[in-house]
Every structure is written in C-alpha cells, then in structure tokens.
Amino acid sequence: MNSLGSRPGGPESASGTGDFTELLRRNDAPALRAGDFPRVSAAPVETHSTTVLSFHYQGGVIIAGDRRATAGNTVMYDRADKVIELDNETVMAIAGSPATAFEMARTLQTSFQYYRRSQLQPLSLSAKVRALGKLIKDNLPMTLQGVGTVVPILAARDLHNQRDPILFFYDALGAQFQAVDFAVSGSGSPAARSVLQWINRWSGQPTSQRDEKQAVQLALQLLDVAAESDTATGGVDRRSLIYPQVKFLTRDGLRSAPVEMLRESFAALEAPHI
C-alpha cells in the first residue's frame, strides 16, 4: 500500500500551494474532503443595551438608563452601566451595541483629557458634540451591515459661557439635534417618549418644573413603563433590588444618584395612596 505522501498527486504536487484542503482533495480523503467541513451560516448574536432617557428638570438635566443588556431573547447581563461620564461636565447615555459604545466613550474620555492638559482649558461644548457625531459617522460601515449601531444621548455644560446643561440626541448616521425638553433612545423609547410628550403638553407640570425628587421618581416610572412594553428593558428588578443608573448634570457639576435615594423613591411610588 502506498503511503499518503507517495501517492500520485500527493504532497509533492500540492506543496506549491500549501493548501491542506487541496491536499485532501487530491488524495481523495473520504472523511476529510473540503466539502464536508461545516459552514457557519449565521453571525453571532450581537449584545444590545436597551433604554436610556434624559430630560430637563428644575436643577438641570437628569440622565437615566436601565441596567439590562440583551443578545436576542437572552439576558446577557443585568448590571450594565449605560450612563457614562466623559468628564466632569459631560455625560453620555448609550443605546445599541455596548462594544462600540464603550470604545467611543473611552476615545472621548482620552481626547477630552488630552485637550484639557495640552491646552490648559476644556474643550468647547460644540467640539464635544461634534466629536461624538464623528465617531458615530465613522461607524457607518458597521451600521450599514446591521451590527455595531449606537444611538446615544449626550448631556453637557459649556464652561466657557457658564450655561445650564444642554441635551443632545443623535441618529445612527451621526447627525446631532438639541433636545428642548427630553431625549430618549433604545428599544423601550417609544413608550417612554409617549409618556414624556403627554407630561410636557397636558399634565400641567412639565418636567422642567419638577424638583430633583420628582425628577428621580419620574425617571424610575418611565423606565418601569418601558420595561412593561419592551422585554429588552430591565426597569427595576424588585427581586434583586437592581435599580436603574441615574445621574444629574447641574451648574454645580456631575453627580450620581445614590442607591438609597433610588430605593426610597421607588418605595414611595409603590406605597398605597389613600
């Protein structure tokens, strides 16, 4: 019996290509023909962050996001941080692909810090807004393939003019828009947007007239409403006591809502009203 290497059409004739599958084909290996190799027909399921929202209240801007990250119908993680501080005056809330969004956030954090240290002054508000828009635009090839899409919300304060915080939202191509009252993004955003539109037009107490305590309660209610209509939104996990991530941007700077504040606010909402 001839060995594999001595058969006609063996390694001597395939050595010029270095193609192992061609070698198998030439030697007619029955169990290892190239056509027998399994083919991957589906791309891996992408992880998504879901619902984030922001609105103006009396003291400034509140930014909130649920904690759930999903991949298809699977809950990948229920403690995801979707409200990311870029510097002391700028915060971004992410909806879409966390892998892409976190990379954008790290790039912006480094860019803002480098400019501040090299120029001895912070980057202007307009430059920050466009920097995020450019990163989203540069991600367009991935967006067109249906993966890596990020549709964030940005809240920032312009230190050069000592202005109140300003709220921006983006589309998937990188265009930015200033939000007068509120901005929402993610799979649960339609439900939250509808409630905010009603509140600001018909309730008699728009979000801009609410104090900090009322703003926190409203943010928790909105995320809970979104979770009721969207399975990808986490809302408040009553069993594990996992609360949404909430931050405030005011003229005094950026700070996070402590867990105790969120716990008390949600308990007050669930208490029976007589």
Please list the pLDDT of the chain residue by residue as tens digits (274 residues). Answer: 444 444 444 444 445 555 666 666 677 655 554 455 555 455 556 666 689 999 999 999 999 999 988 887 888 888 999 999 999 999 999 998 888 999 999 999 999 999 999 999 999 999 999 999 999 999 998 888 888 889 999 999 988 776 789 999 999 899 999 999 999 999 999 999 999 999 999 999 999 999 999 999 999 999 999 999 888 888 777 778 889 999 999 988 999 999 999 999 988 887 665 4
Active-site residue (options: 17, 21, 47, 50): 50
Q: Could you give the residue ranges of the DSSP H alpha helices within the chain?
A: 11-14, 20-26, 98-119, 125-138, 140-144, 189-202, 212-229, 259-270
**pLDDT value, residue 84:** 96
55 phi and psi angles, rounded to 5 deg = -155, 160
**pLDDT value, residue 261:** 94
CATH number of the 48-270 domain: 3.60.20.10
229 phi and psi angles, rounded to 5 deg = -105, -5
Per the annotation, the verdict on 50 as an active-site residue is yes
Alpha carbons 107 and 114: distance in angstroms, whole number:
11
Question: What is the CB neighbour count within 10 angstroms for residue 126?
Answer: 12
Contact in structure between 65 and 83 (CB atoms under 8 Å): yes
- In DSSP terms, 48 is beta-bridged to 70
CA dihedral 80, 83, 85, 89 (to 10 degrees): -170
What are the domain boundaries of the chain?
Answer: 48-270
User: What pTM was estimated for this model as a whole?
Assistant: 0.80
